[in-house]
Chains A and B, each alone.
Chain A
Amino acid sequence: MAADIDNILGKYRQGRREELIPLLQEIQAAHGYISEEAIVRVGSHLGLSTTKIYGLATFYDQFRFFPAGKIHIKLCNGTSCFMNGSKAVIDRFREELRIEPGQTTRNGNFSLETVTCMGGCHHGPVIMINGEYHIHVQPEQVPELIRRLKYIIDND
């Protein structure tokens, strides 16, 4: 992991403040989240205090500070999906997995995230499970879906 961060930092040699966000984005793309170590190293590279970096990273929705689950579920909560009933779907996921959007289950299997529009407005509610889209999702389907996903994890 440390070597990874070194590689990424190497690409941003000039160490300017403008590079902070692209740097964090790249670290997140490589590791899936921003670790404490990453923040400390980015801080010493750019000459910024870690509080400043943490303050900036928490301001933006994109950054996460703990790893995503093995199965990452993105739930669309755009206007169109909302009108087609995404709230009930999101609530069902929260109840079934017992986590809030933005969190990861303790065993590290599932994580939830809500996004504002994925672009599939006519087919709402839309959810994305590890890069694969599911359309017209109804709350009743959620328990079965999670059961299937758990089965996949157990047999992996």
Chain B
Amino acid sequence: MEDLKTFLIQKVLLFESDTLASETEKVLQNVRRDRTNVPVIHVTYNSSSIIAGSDKTLSAIKSYIADNQPSSEVVTVGCAGPANYEPLVCIQMPGKNRLFFRNITEEKVEPLLNGVFHSDINEDDLLGQSGEKGFGLWPGIPFMNELPFFALQKRVVLNNCGCYDPESIEEYIARGGYRTFVKTIRHYTFEEVCDIIERSGLRGRSGGGYPTGVKWKQALTTPSNSRYLICNAKESDPGSFSDRAILESDPHRLIEGMAISAYAIGASNAVLYLKSDCNHALERFRKALDMARDFGIIGHNIYSSGYNLDISVKVEPGAFVCGEETALINSLEGKRGMPQLKPPYPTASGLSGKPTVINNVETLMNVPLIMQNGPEWFRGFGTEKSPGTKILAITGRGRMSGVVEVEMGTTIRTVLEDIVDGIRDGKDFKAVQLGGASGTFIAEEDIDTPIEFEAMREKGIVMGAGGFVVIDDSSCMVDLVRYYMEFIRRESCGKCIPCREGTGRMLEILESVIKKPANEESGTTLERFKGVMQLETISQVMKDTSLCGLGQTAPNPFMSALRNFREEFEEHIFDRKCRANVCRGLRTFTINVEKCTGCTVCAGKCPVNAIYGTRLQPFFIVEDKCIGCGICYDVCKFSAVIVK
């Protein structure tokens, strides 16, 4: 092991020429497992596949190997992309291409491995093969990158994810990693790195789209004796997981990205600000950091370049608002995570008053690639104004879900229809929600918008950090808006009044819309109408006057839903009807006289005594009294209660 380490440092990292010696390449091929002499089994092992049961799959595979094929190797890899195929198992037989199998739960392990080791492959769970045509080809089996899910993606940033063991720095170096960083600190000045990134046109991937190179230069030109780089891995939008997937699948490239970026702004301290509850990602990143320290990639006077760097990890203590730059800095300083007025921007006065650059995980993941291949290469992807790719975390009701990467300029329709492959369970498409809790809903008519900063801004669509939620007609838009508003209201920090009060009022009004008033006489009915008319005004005031992005964008889900699905809101308000049958408070219940046996159970349980009847005769529900709680529906043993 020690030999390999010195070899990798001397012959790879410190090797001056761009092309490595052929003997070195041979060693690296072995480290990368391009060709193997023993069967190698790769199992995805990250938080989403553990939820799907990959920890049990892994132990089942290990015990099978120990009993039957002790010469085989088992490797854990990160997330390969499709979350609905997890646990994903990839098997590489000697001299053959890798075969991918989907949904390999514990009980499927034995039949699968029996089949593979005796050349009788079960086609049901087989996804495809990866590798080259020619040598090692499995005839008649499709290639992974020809599957629709992968064919339309451009996996540049994610190309390592799911291919190597994230806990092995040797494999990352064998895949070309860390060479760019070493080259950068030895041959480029701070300004040159900033220049290259500026020329590449890389823009912040957290949603704002601010040019990264420009931001770095601002920090670099602010005179100071120390600077900080912060990697913002606090993606706390409900339902976004791409940063976590990256951290778990390719932590080393993130370290390399952070290291190059820290060098570019002349910072000797970098901080990873990680979301709480991501224990698996934290553990992997810490391990990766320790390995990088051991290889001397971070530390004091790195490879005699005179540059010092230390990377530390801080776990965010759980507040959505800490995704905002100034709030994040406050939280790192041990204060309440409340935002502050800008300017001064963090690039002028950030952490401890020093110039600080805060970049998102995805942005930093692009940096090593740009430094390695040059800005022109990067401009080859995407559009003129938004070069590069965009990572999306696809969730919701689509057939496929997971982490995908598409070229900027790909339309939302392509992602939805080809990569996600439509809606599952035969339901109809309703909307796509981009940008998390403060993002926008996109209906059918805007679905041809390309994913890039300018076109989306023109249409008033928020790109956000890449959450892509597919919504089908079984979801109620009003209820979804209420859900997001509930989330934002809980997370509002309370510093400025428009956000603190506005989110509360909006939630109150939305809650009154999704249930029937207790009785028609009181002022509640009037209040309900008054409230609805005020919703739009409140949204506008919040948008104009809130202090930070959280408050300014909080009305986004409501405003975009109202724009696209106005009739659904009106139905809730005027007809008290929920077309998706989600809003429990609006449901009407009737009793099927043919099925009702008159057992009196429902009448006894009804909290408002709205059910009348004679024992052993069919009962009936008085609609005006019914509050739609649904208890009668739940308790009826004869399915006589009908919901509408």
Contacts and interface: CB of A to CB of B under 8 A. Distances in A.
A120 B47 CA distance: 8
Nearest to A22: B314
A57 to B, nearest CB: 8
A97 to B, nearest CB: 18
A117 B46 CA distance: 14
Contacts, number: 119
B331 interface: yes
A121 B238 CA distance: 10
B334 A119 contact: no
A71 to B, nearest CB: 18
Interface stretch (B48-56, B107-115, B198-206, B559-567): B48-56
Contact of A80 (B244, B277, B395): B395
Interface string B394-407: 01110001100000
A63 interface: yes
A39 interface: no
A61 interface: yes
Contacts of A30: none
B381 interface: no
B389 interface: no
B47 A63 contact: no
B70 interface: no
B483 A121 contact: no
A118 interface: yes
A123 B51 contact: yes
A27 B337 CA distance: 20
Nearest to A62: B318
A135 B474 CA distance: 20
B471 A119 contact: no
A60 B47 contact: no
Contacts of A18: 332-334
Given A18-B334, A62-B276, A24 B51 contact: no
B238 A59 contact: no
B317 interface: yes
B469 A80 contact: yes
Contact of A121 (B239, B276, B336): B239
A105 interface: no
Contacts of A62: 276, 317-318
Contact of B241 (A25, A61, A121): A121
Nearest to B248: A119
B433 interface: yes
Contacts of B336: 55-56, 59
B335 interface: yes
What 5 A-B pairs have minimum CB-CB distances, sorted nearest first?
Answer: A120-B51, A79-B239, A61-B318, A62-B318, A60-B317
Given A120-B51, A121-B401, A122-B401, 13 more contacts: A21-B317, A22-B315, A59-B319, A62-B276, A63-B318, A78-B395, A79-B237, A80-B396, A80-B401, A117-B239, A118-B277, A119-B245, A122-B48
